Every structure is written in C-alpha cells, then in structure tokens.
Chains A and B, each alone.
Chain A
Amino acid sequence: MRTLPAVFAFAAWLAPGVCAAQGEPPTLRPYDTLPDWSGAWLMVGGTVFDRATQTGEGGATSVGVRSHPPYNAEWEAIYRSHLERRDKNLFPDTISNCGVPAGFPRHFNLPDPYEFVVRPEQVWVLTENGPNVLRIYTDGRKHLEDQWATYTGDSVGHWEGDTLVFTTVALKGFRDKDVILDRTGLVLSDQSRATTRIRKIDPTTIEVQMTIEDPKALTRPWVVTKQFRKMPAGTRVYDYGCAENNRNPADVETGKTLVIGPDGKPLNKE
C-alpha cells in the first residue's frame, strides 16, 4: 500500500546527504516505496553463463558448447583446457560434492526457484538450488578495505529509482579451484569484481545485468544479462539438501562425474 506518510518519507529519501552531513546514519528508503519483487522466479534458459556469446549446440555439458568472454590469452588457454576436460566428462562441477556455495556470479546462473527479498536495509537473493544466499547491503555501508575473499564476496548497493545497483568485491574466483561460472568450465580470477543492476522489466520478468571486470583474466569489462520469469502464484520453495542422497559426486582423482549404484559403488569409475 502506498500511504501518504510513505510518500513523504520517500521524498525525504530522495534528498540525500542531509543526515549524512550531520554525521547521522543514512536515511533508508521506506519499505512502501520499494519495488515489489515478491514471489518465486526461475532463470530463463539453460545454465550456459553467457548465452549471448554461446557457440555450439546444447547445454553446458554438451561437447563443443562454450561462451566467449573477453579473456586474455592466458585465461583463454585455461578455459580451453577446461573445455577439453568437460568434453570428456572430466571437468568437475565444484558444487557436485555438496560442500561449497555456488559463489558469485554463478549465483545468477542456477536452476530452480529464486526469491528476491527486498528490505530497506538489505536485499537477499535466495536460491533453492544449493541453497545459496546473496546479501546486498543498502544501508549506506561501504566495502571493507581489508575484506577477505569469499565465494559470494561482499555486495553493497543503492537504489536508482526501482533499479538496484550494487558492486560485488572480494571474490575467490578460481583461486582455490572451487568456484566456476558454469559447467563448461568458465572461470574468473580472484581479481574479479562486478557492478550489477537488477530491475523488473515487466510484471513477470526480472533482469539482472552484470558488468564484470577482472584485470587478471579479462581484456575489457564483460556484460552478461540474465532474466528470471515469475513462477505461478503460490509456488512453494523447498529444502535443497545436496548431501541427502548425492549419487553423482565428482571423482576427486579424475574429476569425472560418477553415477553411484545401489551398492554405493560407482557404475562408471573406469
């Protein structure tokens, strides 16, 4: 409901700097003025991270399929080595053994429902798959100068109208070989960071546009856009206990994705 007090509060929010100039906490955007992103949402298309540059037919595990990020020669070679292993089912998906988050930017490249929880001080992007949580602080805080790297990094942002704009830093990338962007073997370095814009472009579509920079791996900023379609009203989102009955672990020795038989032994080890 758009109440009159909320309108006045929104007007106050549009005049930034007054409180900050007096050393007080920044004014949060009133809840009633925030966009409605409620419900469950499903990513449009498959899990090839950059479908706009995809070549090859099929999904991320199909032989020959790849994206074309603006890699420098060194990281293009790394990606090609991953693609060769993927073609032989020897490139392990880092989340196949159910221990680590998908990380950023893969957070926006997952199957199963998403929820975008909008609050004045913070936005949460929840994924059933994983599950994973991306926290985006909109309370005026800054990135820590000495923030250590994590899978999902540190995200702070602000609202530009009904568009959420945020930066994500302190990412592990492929430093420890446990964050990838998709199952083609797409990766970024621990120098990667992103500026992301999220907005609802029509009543049933949320668009996420990421501008990714990586001075170690990329020759220029890489813009990737993902869309999410609203699921039917009343859709439920559930547990995702990855380790409950994981019969497709990655072989730690070869990287091969295994199929575990009823006796607990792999059916395709050899």
Chain B
Amino acid sequence: MRTHAPLVGAFAIITASLGLAVSVAAHHSGAGFNSDKVIELTGTIKEFQFTNPHTWIQMFVEGDKGARVEWSIEWGSPNSLGRQGIRPSTFPPGAKVTVRLRPMVNGAPAGGFVGAKFPDGKTVGRWE
C-alpha cells in the first residue's frame, strides 16, 4: 500500500511547517522525504533496527477495513543516538506509539523520524 488514503481512519494527518530539523542527516540524507510536511501515525512497533548507517523504526499501522501497513521510519545513526541516550530498547516490539515523521514525497509508507509519544506520555525525539 503506497497511498495515505486507506489509512485515514487509523491516524490523523497533520500537515505542518514546523521548521523541525530533518532527523536523518549525514550518510545518505533524507532523500525522498518531504521536508515541508510532518504527519502523525499511531501504531504498534514491529522492530527497532538499531543498525548502521541509520536506524529504522518498523511500525504496523492499522488502516480501514482491517488492512495493516508496515511503515519504515528512518532515524539517525545508532552511534549518534546512543550518545544521546537512545537504546535498542527505546522502541520495544509490541509497544503502542504515536510517531511524527516527514513522509516520502511519492506516498510510500516510509519517512524521516521527527518524534514519538508513548501512551504513558513519554516522548522521544522532538515533540513540542
């Protein structure tokens, strides 16, 4: 599934020009991500790939009619994040979470990480 339309029922899309820094810097940049747009997804963590050169949060998002889409959300290098206190356990498999990201310009289910908020109110990354 490469469009947002089937997922409208499951999450709210917010379009914003918040001026937030692009989370993915350095090695490959955020090529293909929309730097002017931030969307918000709520779903369940499948896996946090705490790997080089960049980390990836794999998250299942329920769409309408029960469809489940796996999103790939790219973040910084594990080294850089690790120095900031992020750990492989920061996004445990099965956890519910709401994530803000810069989506791909072509509508594919991927984007650059901005921030996340867990049901208990804990936030990760930028969540103003």
Contact = CB atoms under 8 A, between A and B. Distances in A.
Nearest to B70: A262
A183 B78 CA distance: 22
B98 interface: no
A110 B77 CA distance: 13
Contacts of B106: 267-268, 270
B26 A238 contact: no
Contact of B28 (A93, A128, A270): A93
The range of chain A's interface size is 35 or more
Contacts of B28: 93, 96, 248, 257
25 contacts: A93-B27, A93-B28, A98-B53, A111-B25, A112-B80, A128-B79, A129-B26, A129-B27, A239-B52, A239-B79, A240-B77, A244-B51, A244-B53, A245-B49, A245-B54, A245-B56, A257-B29, A259-B32, A259-B110, A261-B72, A262-B72, A267-B2, A267-B108, A267-B109, A270-B106
Interface in A218-270: 235-242, 244-248, 256-259, 261-262, 267-268, 270
A241 B53 CA distance: 7
Given A261-B110, A262-B72, A248 B27 contact: yes
Given A240-B79, A245-B52, A89 B110 contact: no
Contact of B32 (A98, A237, A268): A268
Interface residues of B, number: 30
Interface of A: 47, 59-61, 89, 93, 95-96, 98, 110-112, 128-129, 183, 235-242, 244-248, 256-259, 261-262, 267-268, 270
B82 interface: yes
Contacts of B49: 245
